[in-house]
Structure 1
Amino acid sequence: MAGLGPFGSAPVLAVGVSGGPHSLALAVLARDWVAGRDGRVLALVADHGLRSGSGEEAAGVASRLVTLGIPARVLPLGLPPGSALHERARAARLSALIGAAEAEGAPWLLLGHHIADQAETIAFRALRGSGDEGLSGMAPARPGGGALILRPLLGLPPAQIERFLAAEGLAPVRDPSNDDLRFARARLRRALRDPAGESHGTAALAAAASAFSIRRSRMREAVAARLAVAACFREEGWVRLDQTALGTDRVAEATLSALVRTIGGGGHPPARANSTALLARGGGSLAGALWRGTVLCREAARCAPPLLALPGALWDGRWRVVSAPDGAWIGALGQGGPRGGLPATVAAGLPALRDKGGRLLCVPALEGGARLEFRPISGPIA
């Protein structure tokens, strides 16, 4: 945990535990670490529900953790079948873990990724054509919304972690899907041929991630400085953009990419070539964002469909419902609605609340009547 703090007195940690060797070892290490600091730890076990018996398996992992003196909670995900199953499962698991950590009052969420996971991630992203941001790999610490995500084992090989677990007399649960060659990551893991995580190749990939991470940090500092002079964020979820101050260099491209991702609510930044082209045009639409003159806003036609406005619901990847009238639905205002002095393109993409019959109840950003909060994307998903 050195270098990941400060943690203060009586820290409260949440740990994502699958029952596999690395997350189980992390839970045990976290238990011992907080015990010497008058803190507490909570294990969070996600049940993907993707195979028969997964619920019983998750309950068994939680029960075992309790016998080790580690309180545990099972999080059923209920993932529907379909394409990109592993990617959707990872995203759903992380979202559920962060939400549970926040609900339990744990500011830190610990994950059991190790150096071989880092090498696999770098190789996988390189094959997909990722740029500097993606090739920076997983960060040891990064904001996760409701909790700070920490990866204390990221620099350790999995073989060392498993030796610790064996010394503790603990046998982990093995997930058979990790070796299922129908999935791209399993095939890549097989190709790397280093299950122990102790080869020179794994070390080289992890070192490359560190080098790209330094470049990423420097670029983020430059982007923050450029945003300070070129962009004025408005509480309605749009930006007043000074194109002259934005510039046309590489920092301008990265700044525009970050703005598009935040305003468009995307899970990933747009491709660099697309951001470069948008900057060269000086306007247009990209990844759900619309840039016209000095206005950068959500493109109304790309907004998510309406959903029931229950407290905690996230609409369009950007707006979280805090409170709303019973039975209200949240969706894009669209053309012809109230503008409140805003540009028409901005107003059309604002969240509006309607009843089941489609009658407009209110536009919270303009009129109140409900509470929503804008949740901008704060960083890469890693």
Structure 2
Amino acid sequence: MRAAAPSAAEPGGLPAPPGLSADAAPVTTAEFAALMAPLGPFGPAPCLVAGVSGGPHSLALALLAESWVRCRGGVLLAAVCDHGLRPESAAEAAGVAAMLAARGIAAEVLTLRLAPGGGVQERAREARLAALSELCAARGAPWLLLGHHIADQAETLLLRALAGSGAAGLAAMAPVRPAATALVLRPLLGLPPARLEAVVAAAGLAPVRDPSNTEPRFLRVRLRAVLGDPGGVGAATAALAEAAGRFSARRRQVEAAVADRLAEAASMHEAGFARLDLVALGQDAVARAALGALLRAVGGAAFAPAEAAVAALLARGEGTLGGAVLRRSGLLLRESAALAPPVPARRGALWDARFRLAGDAPPRALFGAAGKAARALPRPAWIPAAVVPTLPALLYDERLAVVPALAYPSPDIAARHAVFFAPHAGAVA
């Protein structure tokens, strides 16, 4: 953002537009830097992607982030998603990209082409995050910025409470969350939307207003109406955000305990399986959370299975849950029957929500499971025989071409077609 000259009221930042109250003054560049600081370290010349819908809050994020990254010699790419759900959406997305480009912010339009139908907001959110994640991988950007604010946090807590979420879910959105290809950062979570709208107004930009944000058939919109005070932070929004913060602190304590337990009782392997010492793991709440995290990673799931189901699996000591199989030996591996079908092999392709192809691939090759045929191949001692059919492989004319984990057909060829473990929520340490 090309910041205006500092004013007495706003040192180092943009002056408030005429008629704007003090509590809705624009977020300053210094404030944004302070919000970003605990989300790092970023190092020199950071490369970031920002999700920008064209609405006022994501536009404010792009403006603030551009100023922040430019001062550090880095690069910001604004990603504008066109969901394709309205006839005018393509033109709106192109207009947003052009508006950003005019401000010196590089922008790229991602066309999602969602099909109409039920659960459209949830499907749109998942498709948007998947596309943004793919873009981060393609551009080598390890950070993805999102523009959620304090009212979004309050609404998220209510939505999760109504859905029956436990304490971890009621922590709502985290300011930092690991994903498969990048860290998801939400630096604006503590700010009222009015201050973000003020940033856009001060920059003289006209945001895009998505009509679905006022459509009462969506639960989030109805909750927003109940909370009231859409521009600032009313008492209800502030209380809910504070509750989310307390649940978040509790979640951090649990996560620290889980990390300690995993360090003592489990090891996660790059071939997508884990080994557990079931005695050291235990049967308590920390053990349930730890096993849930491992099941999520090995199964490639967006969320861990329900705690009651994890507790039952622990009590049995073996079984199948969440697309993973636990054996009495402590081996936790992907369930063969749940493996995703092969996908076209191309650099950056993600298969089974767990493995990403980092190297090259032959033309017309597929990226999928090695399958039963791989059992005949030599394997290193650290890979159990049961894991071999679930390993990622390149397939050509339905035959095994490359199995990187087995260095097949040769170490040199396997190295050129490198694959790395990239589960949906990030690998478990």
Question: Shared fold (TM-score greater than 0.5)?
Answer: yes
Q: Structure 1: how far apart are the matches of 2:261 and 2:166?
A: 20
Match of 1:24 in 2: 59
Match of 1:314 in 2: 350
Of stretches 161-170 and 57-66 in structure 1, the one that deviates more from structure 2 is: 161-170
Per-residue CA distance 1:258-308 (angstroms, 9 max, x = gap): 010000000111111111111111111001000011211001011112222
Is 1:233 the counterpart of 2:280? The answer is no
Per-residue CA distance 1:320-359 (angstroms, 9 max, x = gap): 1233333232333444641636545323322344333x33
Q: Which one of 391, 399, 402 corresponds to residue 350 of structure 1?
A: 391
Match of 1:132 in 2: 167
Is 1:143 the counterpart of 2:189? The answer is no
* TM-score when normalising by structure 2: 0.81
Of stretches 347-356 and 24-33 in structure 1, the one that deviates more from structure 2 is: 347-356
Of stretches 162-171 and 49-58 in structure 1, the one that deviates more from structure 2 is: 162-171
Q: Structure 1: how far apart are the matches of 2:100 and 2:305?
A: 41
Trace 1:147-226 onto structure 2 (pairs within 5 A): 147-226=182-261
Match of 2:324 in 1: 289
Q: Structure 2: how far apart are the matches of 1:7 and 1:333?
A: 38
Per-residue CA distance 1:38-87 (angstroms, 9 max, x = gap): 44433221111121121111010111112223222212223334443222
Q: Which one of 341, 360, 368 corresponds to residue 400 of structure 2?
A: 360
Q: Structure 1: how far apart are the matches of 2:283 and 2:368?
A: 35
Of stretches 13-22 and 242-251 in structure 1, the one that deviates more from structure 2 is: 13-22
CA RMSD of aligned residues (A): 2.3
- Structure 2 CA distance for partners of 1:133 and 1:64, relative to 1, 3 Å: same
Match of 2:310 in 1: 275
Aligned partners of 2:44 and 2:73 also within 8 Å: yes
SS in 2 for 1:338: helix
- Structure 2 CA distance for partners of 1:286 and 1:105, relative to 1, 3 Å: closer
* TM-score when normalising by structure 1: 0.91
Aligned partners of 1:324 and 1:371 also within 8 Å: no
Q: Structure 2: how far apart are the matches of 1:233 and 1:255?
A: 12
Runs (5+) with no aligned partner, structure 1: none
Q: Structure 2: how far apart are the matches of 1:168 and 1:281?
A: 61
Of stretches 307-316 and 52-61 in structure 1, the one that deviates more from structure 2 is: 307-316
- Structure 2 CA distance for partners of 1:315 and 1:83, relative to 1, 3 Å: farther
Aligned partners of 2:138 and 2:348 also within 8 Å: no
Q: Structure 2: how far apart are the matches of 1:260 and 1:36?
A: 42
Aligned partners of 1:47 and 1:77 also within 8 Å: yes
Match of 2:49 in 1: 14
Match of 2:132 in 1: 97
SS in 1 for 2:39: coil
Match of 1:303 in 2: 339
Q: Which one of 366, 378, 386 corresponds to residue 329 of structure 1?
A: 366
Q: By how many angstroms is 1:229 displaced?
A: 1.7
Q: Structure 2: how far apart are the matches of 1:19 and 1:220?
A: 35
Aligned partners of 2:375 and 2:385 also within 8 Å: no
Q: How many positions carry a matched residue from both structures?
A: 379
Q: Structure 1: how far apart are the matches of 2:48 and 2:396?
A: 41
Aligned partners of 1:300 and 1:345 also within 8 Å: no
Aligned partners of 2:149 and 2:188 also within 8 Å: yes
- Structure 2 CA distance for partners of 1:249 and 1:70, relative to 1, 3 Å: same
- Structure 2 CA distance for partners of 1:35 and 1:56, relative to 1, 3 Å: same
Aligned partners of 1:115 and 1:197 also within 8 Å: no
Q: Structure 2: how far apart are the matches of 1:278 and 1:126?
A: 26
Q: Which one of 327, 338, 347 corresponds to residue 375 of structure 2?
A: 338
Q: Structure 1: how far apart are the matches of 2:269 and 2:69?
A: 41
- Structure 2 CA distance for partners of 1:235 and 1:154, relative to 1, 3 Å: closer
Q: Percent identity?
A: 57
Q: Structure 1: how far apart are the matches of 2:405 and 2:46?
A: 37
Which AA in structure 1 matches 2:78?
Answer: A
Of stretches 237-246 and 257-266 in structure 1, the one that deviates more from structure 2 is: 237-246
- Structure 2 CA distance for partners of 1:40 and 1:314, relative to 1, 3 Å: closer
Which AA in structure 2 matches 1:361?
Answer: A
Q: Structure 2: how far apart are the matches of 1:38 and 1:227?
A: 38
Q: Structure 2: how far apart are the matches of 1:379 and 1:207?
A: 27
Q: Structure 1: how far apart are the matches of 2:286 and 2:227?
A: 34
Q: Structure 2: how far apart are the matches of 1:234 and 1:6?
A: 27
Of stretches 205-214 and 230-239 in structure 1, the one that deviates more from structure 2 is: 230-239
Q: By how many angstroms is 1:149 displaced?
A: 2.3
Per-residue CA distance 1:228-253 (angstroms, 9 max, x = gap): 12112233211111110111111100
Of stretches 129-138 and 118-127 in structure 1, the one that deviates more from structure 2 is: 129-138
Q: Structure 1: how far apart are the matches of 2:400 and 2:196?
A: 57
- Structure 2 CA distance for partners of 1:103 and 1:221, relative to 1, 3 Å: same
